Structure 1
Amino acid sequence: MKAVIIPVTPFAQNCSLIWCEETMKGAVTDPGGDLDHVLQAAEKHGVTIEKILITHGHLDHAGGTQELHEKLGVPIEGPHKDDKFWIDQLPAQCARYGFAESFAFTPDRWLEDGDIVTVGNEEFTVVHCPGHTPGHVVFVNLKERVAIVGDVLFQGSIGRTDFPRGNHDDLIHSIREKLWPLGDDITFIPGHGNLSTFGQERATNPFVADMNFG
């Protein structure tokens, strides 16, 4: 598996182009906007985009989803259906923050905890991780030991929980009870900022480190 991070939107959100090296089929994760950059990256690397994967419904992660779907004619998978209320608000969200025009969408597949998503010959396990938003999902490639975590976890921090239907306790539970058991060696691509590993965050992240939980 290969991945290229493409920062998009004024919020510098980590949209990713991920692909299977055997088939050169790929997916775009969280196309918040700046779709020309995303499509240029696919062309540069010789990747055929076969689907769009969404971690959650916030504008910087999902604002360009419908436009990309219409451009490429590929299916949208994710997030969990509990984020439908965020997706329905995308036009208003983008107008409020001065983003380019955006459109609501209906995924071809709402995702549940434990679902499998394929990208070429690569498989990603879906982990439902509510807290930042109620329908947030994480995509984990257990073979390659890579996760795409959206705004659940960052290097040295965690996602905000002060948005509608955010919940701090749920977020801590999602990270510690659903992500940590997957293994310290998993490298994760966050929604913003630098890559890290679950092990590094277990040891050093002031919000979720083991030392703070007895």
Structure 2
Amino acid sequence: MLKHEIIPVTLFEQNCTLFWCSETKQAAVVDPGGDIEKIIAAISKHGLTLNKILITHAHIDHAGATSALANHYDVLIEGPHKADQFWIDGMEDQKQRFGGAFAYAKKFVPNRFLAQGDTVNFGNIIMEVYFCPGHTPGHVVFFHRESKIAQVGDVLFSGSIGRTDFPRGDHATLISSIRHNLFPLGDDVRFIPGHGPMSTFGQERQYNPHVSDVAVGLK
């Protein structure tokens, strides 16, 4: 069974997520943006063995502590899609933009870039990978079909969508990613966004002012 804990990190309250397999206690951390001591404490609290780090996209609030956490546990880094390499390469520039808040951040080297149709696993858990560009060109989403739960990074939020005014962001691409890659997974799928409270795809398909059926002209 998949279990999870959301760990808000950084001054942006980014929803770093600790997922684990209840049978094996093998775990994965999605988007360790910062506050590494909080992440380590959560792993220890649940008696888990960290198996890998998963990255939705390479903005500093989602990926800033990736290198530090990977070195601490000597684990693999999987994700994002290779199209986000320029954000990884620019980690130092991102750090300078935000001053001392991300002093620990540094460039990292993924052991595996991810693409549509890939899967990631830890313990007995298999999560599907969906390529959802728009917020960044290399954004991916992780979906556990059995639990009907997804970690969507900054693609979709409760009542909102990801920004597209960053370099290589694209609004039309983001809407397409949500409508064609996420919503078909099912109205009852719960999702953990990169920031803010959880919601369901059905809730957003009905009421989200940016991407609902009404907003895109289907009703």
* TM-score (norm: length of structure 1): 0.99
8 Å CA contact retained: 1:26, 1:120 = yes
User: What does residue 5 of structure 2 align with?
Assistant: 4
8 Å CA contact retained: 1:91, 1:101 = no
- 2:34 is paired with a residue whose SS is coil
User: What does residue 35 of structure 2 align with?
Assistant: 34
For structure 2, the 5+ residue unaligned runs are none
Q: Alpha-carbon deviation of 1:105?
A: 1.1
Query: Is 1:107 paired with 2:105?
Result: no
Query: Is 1:202 paired with 2:205?
Result: yes
Q: How does 1:8-157 map to 2 (within 5 A)?
A: 8-98=9-99, 99-157=102-160
1:160-207 CA-to-partner distances (Å, cap 9, x unmatched) read: 000000000000000001101110110000000000000000011000
- Give the AA of the match of 1:135: G
Alignment match of 1:184 (pick from 165, 187, 190): 187
The count of residues paired between Structure 1 and Structure 2 equals 214
Q: Alpha-carbon deviation of 1:120?
A: 1.1
42-51 vs 150-159, which moves further: 42-51
- Distance (Å, rounded) in 1 between the aligned partners of 2:4 and 2:47: 13
- Distance (Å, rounded) in 1 between the aligned partners of 2:175 and 2:122: 29
For structure 1, the 5+ residue unaligned runs are none
204-213 vs 140-149, which moves further: 204-213
- Distance (Å, rounded) in 2 between the aligned partners of 1:32 and 1:118: 21
Q: Percent identity?
A: 58
- 2:128 is paired with a residue whose SS is strand
Alignment match of 1:172 (pick from 170, 175, 199): 175
Q: Alpha-carbon deviation of 1:94?
A: 1.3
User: What does residue 214 of structure 2 align with?
Assistant: 211
- Distance (Å, rounded) in 2 between the aligned partners of 1:95 and 1:63: 12
Supply the RMSD in Å over aligned alpha carbons. Answer: 0.7
* TM-score (norm: length of structure 2): 0.96
32-41 vs 95-104, which moves further: 95-104
Q: Alpha-carbon deviation of 1:95?
A: 2.0
- Distance (Å, rounded) in 1 between the aligned partners of 2:128 and 2:72: 27
8 Å CA contact retained: 1:95, 1:101 = no
- Give the AA of the match of 2:31: D
